[in-house]
């Protein structure tokens, strides 16, 4: 490993790759990381789901029978936004105790800490288990990179535990909700607005449906860690011109289910709630993930992070979804945690930053995770 590739400098170099999604263009960033990891002894493979939309899988083998530990993070970022930044969002500028830039918290600081830990581990001989890094493209717009890897035979098999480096201030989360998006369509009959009785107003049907959605019952108990499923009406559109009765209206619904609540079950309950006036189409579905807080590895993670936190961690989860939605199933459903140095409130924000100390701490935490896992007898 080059002596100058500290977690901070790795973070700066990653921020300076413009991987704003869309369009993403993660290929150059993935290639740079691949070269570093290959020089350290990792087996490297690249996977493109579209032109220049490249994910990297880097594996360091172990000599024992224990399956590999997997670190995963995404290389893309959201756009900087329209509001002006105080500094160049792709400079990785350091000011005081913070590093600034798009992706500093979400999640190039986390990827840098994972790579730093992996490079450090590569210098240790006699590993009893392997370490795999999965660095994906396209997470911010629907986990396209992780979804593509999940569909490739043999790429994601054999992981014993999974760490996702999303911004958590180095607090371990044992799971997250999923996401299911529906398009609901109301159909009517067009007529002149001066004679609305001759038509059938689709917007009125949509409005009645929205009222029912506000009181929608998922029919499941509250999850003790992730809470209740949620529903949000995010889009409504209908009509062509103001002086006609609209014959079509659509509603976009975002649902965040707890693990175990399937998209088809939700669709069936929506059908009962909304009745025959509304057509229901599932646009996409992302599974929730939840690990047992009493799993020995999860308890070990809590032990590792405790010295770095103000108070000992307790089991908690995230309301959003991550690449874990697509990674855990082909891996055989290993225990998984979300843990990264970024600040959750900084994700997608103007003047996004990450605390320097958090990145250094994350590199130490990841290394200790890997050391314990990969040197275990």
The string of DSSP letters for 236-296 reads EEE-S-TTB--SEEEEEEEEEPPTT--HHHHHHHHHHHH-TTEEEEEEEEE--EE--TTSH
Minimal CA–CA distance to 256: which of 226, 215, 280? Answer: 226
User: Tokens 């020995």 map to which residue?
Assistant: 296
Instruction: Examine the fold and report which residue of 286, 308, 323 is the final residue of a domain before the chain moves on.
Output: 286
Residue in the block written with tokens 């599932």? 282
Token readout for 26 is: 């993660």
Q: In the prediction, which pLDDT does 292 show?
A: 97
Structure tokens belonging to residue 318:
């995230």
Same domain, 30 and 129: yes
- Number of compact structural domains in the chain: 2
The residue range of the domain holding 226 is 179-286
The answer to whether residue 310 sits within a structural domain is: yes
Indicate if 51 and 143 belong to the same structural domain: yes
List the pLDDT tens digit at each of the 377 positions of the chain. Answer: 454 789 999 999 999 999 999 999 999 999 999 999 999 999 999 999 999 999 999 999 887 778 999 999 999 999 999 999 999 999 999 999 999 999 999 999 999 999 999 999 999 988 999 999 999 999 999 999 999 999 999 999 889 999 999 999 999 999 999 999 999 999 999 999 999 999 999 999 999 999 999 999 999 999 999 999 999 999 999 999 999 999 999 999 999 999 999 999 999 999 999 999 999 999 999 999 999 999 999 999 999 999 999 999 999 999 999 999 999 999 999 999 999 999 999 999 999 999 999 999 999 999 999 999 999 75
Q: Determine, yes or no, domain membership for 2.
A: no
pLDDT, residue 377, reads: 54
- Domain final residue pick, 259, 286, 313: 286
Give the pLDDT of residue 157: 86
Q: Note the pLDDT of residue 64.
A: 76
Pairing of strands 248-256, 179-187: antiparallel
User: What is residue 136's predicted lDDT score, i.e. its pLDDT?
Assistant: 98
Under 8 Å between Cβ of 185 and 249: yes
Within-domain flag for 1: no
CATH at residue 248: 3.30.70.360
- Indicate the pairing of strand 43-50 with strand 53-60: antiparallel
Asked if residue 131 and residue 20 are part of one domain, the reply reads yes
Q: If DSSP codes are grouped into helix, strand and coil, which group holds residue 118? A: helix
Pair 137, 165 in one domain? yes
pTM of the model: 0.94
332 and 208 within one domain: no
In a domain, 255, yes or no: yes
Q: Residue 157 is part of a domain; what is its CATH number?
A: 3.40.630.10
Clarify whether residues 164 and 74 are in a common domain.
yes
Same domain, 183 and 239: yes
Helical spans, DSSP H, in 69-215: 109-121, 144-150, 202-214
Domain contains 217: yes
Query: Looking at the structure, do residues 185 and 139 belong to the same domain, yes or no?
Result: no
Q: Which of 286, 320, 351 is the last residue of a domain?
A: 286
């Amino acid at each position: 490993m080059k002596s100058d590739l500290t977690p901070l400098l790795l973070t700066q170099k990653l921020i300076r790759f413009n991987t704003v999604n869309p369009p993403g263009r993660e290929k150059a960033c993935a290639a740079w990381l691949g070269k570093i990891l290959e020089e350290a002894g990792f087996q490297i493979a690249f996977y493109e789901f579209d032109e220049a939309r490249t994910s990297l899988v880097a594996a360091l083998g172990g000599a024992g029978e224990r399956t590999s530990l997997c670190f995963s993070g995404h290389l893309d970022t959201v756009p900087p936004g329209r509001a002006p930044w105080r500094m160049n969002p792709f400079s990785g500028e350091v000011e005081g105790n913070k590093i600034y830039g798009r992706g500093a918290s979400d999640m190039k600081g986390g990827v840098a800490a994972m790579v730093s830990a992996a490079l450090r581990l590569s210098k240790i001989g006699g590993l009893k288990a392997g370490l795999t890094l999965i660095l994906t493209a396209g997470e911010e717009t629907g986990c396209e990179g992780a979804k593509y890897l999940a569909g490739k035979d043999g790429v994601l098999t054999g992981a014993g535990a999974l760490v996702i480096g999303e911004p958590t201030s180095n607090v371990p989360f044992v799971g997250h909700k999923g996401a299911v998006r529906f398009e609901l369509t109301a159909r009517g009959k067009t007529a002149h607005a001066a004679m609305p009785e001759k038509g059938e107003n689709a917007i009125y049907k949509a409005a009645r449906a929205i009222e029912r959605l506000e009181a929608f019952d998922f029919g499941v108990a509250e999850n003790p860690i992730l809470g209740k499923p949620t529903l949000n009406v995010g889009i409504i559109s209908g009509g062509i011109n103001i002086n006609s009765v609209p014959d079509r209206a659509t509603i976009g619904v975002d649902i965040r289910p707890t693990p175990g609540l399937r998209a088809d079950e939700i669709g069936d309950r929506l059908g009962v709630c909304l009745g025959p006036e509304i057509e229901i189409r599932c646009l996409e579905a992302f599974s929730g993930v939840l690990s047992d807080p009493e799993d020995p590895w999860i308890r070990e993670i809590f032990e590792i992070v405790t010295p770095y936190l103000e108070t000992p961690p307790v089991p908690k989860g995230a309301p959003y979804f991550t690449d874990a939605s697509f990674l855990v199933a082909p891996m055989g459903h290993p225990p998984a945690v979300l843990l990264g140095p970024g600040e959750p409130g900084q994700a997608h924000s103007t003047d996004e930053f990450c605390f320097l100390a958090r990145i250094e701490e994350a590199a130490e935490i990841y290394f200790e995770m890997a050391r314990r896992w990969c040197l275990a007898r």
